[in-house]
Amino acid sequence: MPEFLTIKEFSEIYRVSVPTIYRLRERGELSFVKVGRASRIRRSDAERWAETLPTAGRIASGA
């Protein structure tokens, strides 16, 4: 499994809209990593974020 997710991949896996992903970053709930000019989300950060959600969020992550 890749170590990083694109914004689109995160959106599809966790069923979160792209604007919401950027809001999560602004609130400090999710961090991005720059890879060249592209923004990526560490898979470990995505999984940690998903663990903070109610049960429905854990289903999407496969936990």
Q: Kindly state whether residue 49 falls inside one of the protein's structural domains.
A: yes
Q: Kindly state whether residue 32 falls inside one of the protein's structural domains.
A: yes
Q: Is residue 60 a contact partner of residue 14, using CB atoms and an 8 Å limit?
A: yes
Q: Kindly state whether residue 8 falls inside one of the protein's structural domains.
A: yes
Predicted TM-score (pTM) above 0.85: no
Q: Kindly state whether residue 63 falls inside one of the protein's structural domains.
A: no
Q: Could you give the number of structural domains in the chain?
A: 1
Cα(49)–Cα(31) distance, integer angstroms: 10
Q: Kindly state whether residue 61 falls inside one of the protein's structural domains.
A: no
Q: Quote the domain boundaries for residue 48.
A: 4-55
Q: Kindly state whether residue 62 falls inside one of the protein's structural domains.
A: no
Q: N- to C-terminal Cα distance for the chain?
A: 15
Cα(2)–Cα(17) distance, integer angstroms: 21
Which pLDDT tens digit goes with each residue over 2-37?
A: 799 999 999 999 999 999 999 999 999 999 999 999
| Helix axes of 43-51 and 7-14: crossing angle, nearest 10 degrees | 30
Q: Kindly state whether residue 22 falls inside one of the protein's structural domains.
A: yes
